[in-house]
Chains A and B, each alone.
Chain A
Amino acid sequence: MMPVVEKIMYIALIIFAFMSVQTPKLRRAVVYLAVFSAGSAFVYVLLGAPDAALAEAVIGSTIATIIFLSALQKYKAFTVYYTNEMRHEYRQSNLFRRRNAVLERIENFCSGKDLEAHIMYTTESLQEVMKNHGWDIIVRRKNNKFSIYGMEQNYHIEEMKKYIDENFNDLRKLGYEIELHIGWSENE
């Protein structure tokens, strides 16, 4: 009985270690690492070292995880508002199943720049979002036209422009219009 559990735990540990290295999102990697740590604490118990297991459980899966998470909090968040004025509500299931290609690429851009993309879906109009929320960029969709709004003051907007010029050509070929507005007048 015991050796079988041990072997299963060993395999699970390898899987979790691999996943924590492979996952693209840092937050997820931290959680996998915590699970790995808890698993290794269990293995220590099976091997007859409860003392080491206790230390591993407390430090590895709790304190280290909290320190990693608070480090990630300092990590800069990049807030993206997505507004589609044709819609009056968003269904949660739809959001998960059909990711928007434009938003997906913006997320890729952010992970390349070591930023964490926070995407907000909203039904408010562009002006309301601009006035009432803190944002880095706003993506507005109108039928087949995506307009991306950003401020000149934003540190990353120049690189974003370059990224959009280079990487959105296939979507443009499919008939989508994508443009980036940097700085605009109030009445727009």
Chain B
Amino acid sequence: MYEERHHSEILEDVLQFIYPLIILFGLYIILTGISQPGGGFQGGAVLVAIFMCRYLVSPREMGRLDLIQKIDKLILVFILALASMLILLGFREVIPYFNGIYNMLIGILIGIKVASGLTVIFYTFAFIEGGKED
């Protein structure tokens, strides 16, 4: 009964069309965040919409939460490594246009980090906390 109530073909078809637009918009916000309003945090928050849409389409399938969690932790390590590399190794003098590249890289990493972190929060909340409705 639950499945019938929540499964909507209209929603599914429309969302399939919208997924790439969400990804494009999220990436746009992340990449143009250097010179415009936006940035990693906001773009990552837009990217979470993908997983939320998935939840709306199929509220019973959790997906691979452990994988997302691992990505989340791995990206955190990358961010810390990149930041400490900037301070310790002194790439700034060697590589031309270092600031632009660095900003873009850290923006993308923060975007993925925020997206996966918020996804973990949302999925934990939606599937694990408080039990399921029946």
Q: Which residues of A come within 8 Å of B, CB atoms?
A: 50-51, 53-55, 58-59, 62-63, 66-67, 70-71, 73-74, 76, 134
Q: Is B3 an interface residue (CB 8 A)?
A: no
Q: In the complex, what residues of A have CB within 8 A of residue B125's CB?
A: 67, 70-71
Q: How many residue pairs at the A-B interface have CB separations less than 8 Å? A: 38
Q: Is B131 an interface residue (CB 8 A)?
A: yes
Q: In the complex, what residues of B have CB within 8 A of residue A76's CB?
A: 133
For the complex, what is the distance from the CA of A66 to the CA of B54, rounded to whole Å?
Answer: 13
- Of B29, B52, B130, which one neighbours A54 at CB under 8 angstroms? B29
For the complex, what is the distance from the CA of A71 to the CA of B37, rounded to whole Å?
Answer: 32
Q: In the complex, what residues of B have CB within 8 A of residue A50's CB?
A: 37
Minimum CB distance partner of B126 in chain A = A70
- The answer to whether B42 touches A63, judged by C-beta atoms less than 8 angstroms apart, is no
- Of B1, B45, B55, which one neighbours A55 at CB under 8 angstroms? B45
Q: Is B48 an interface residue (CB 8 A)?
A: yes
- The answer to whether A73 touches B45, judged by C-beta atoms less than 8 angstroms apart, is no
- The answer to whether B37 touches A51, judged by C-beta atoms less than 8 angstroms apart, is yes
For the complex, what is the distance from the CA of A51 to the CA of B42, rounded to whole Å?
Answer: 8
- The answer to whether A74 touches B52, judged by C-beta atoms less than 8 angstroms apart, is no
Minimum CB distance partner of B1 in chain A = A134
- The answer to whether A54 touches B126, judged by C-beta atoms less than 8 angstroms apart, is no
For the complex, what is the distance from the CA of A159 to the CA of B29, rounded to whole Å?
Answer: 54
- The answer to whether A74 touches B1, judged by C-beta atoms less than 8 angstroms apart, is no
CB distance from B115 to the nearest CB of A (A): 11
Q: In the complex, what residues of B have CB within 8 A of residue A54's CB?
A: 29, 37-38, 42
Interface size range of chain B in the complex: 20 to 34
Q: In the complex, what residues of B have CB within 8 A of residue A66's CB?
A: 52, 122
For the complex, what is the distance from the CA of A55 to the CA of B45, rounded to whole Å?
Answer: 8
Q: Is B104 an interface residue (CB 8 A)?
A: no
A-B contact pairs, 7 of them (CB 8 A): A51-B38, A51-B42, A55-B45, A59-B45, A62-B49, A66-B52, A66-B122
Minimum CB distance partner of B29 in chain A = A54
- The answer to whether B42 touches A58, judged by C-beta atoms less than 8 angstroms apart, is yes
- For B111-122 the 0/1 string (1 means CB < 8 A from A) is 000000010001
Minimum CB distance partner of B45 in chain A = A58
- For B37-69 the 0/1 string (1 means CB < 8 A from A) is 111011001101100100100000000000000
Q: With A58-B42, A74-B131 in contact, do A63 and B37 touch (Cβ < 8 Å)? A: no
Q: With A54-B29, A70-B126 in contact, do A63 and B118 touch (Cβ < 8 Å)? A: yes
10 A-B pairs with least C-beta separation: A50-B37, A58-B45, A54-B42, A51-B37, A70-B126, A55-B42, A74-B130, A74-B133, A66-B52, A59-B45
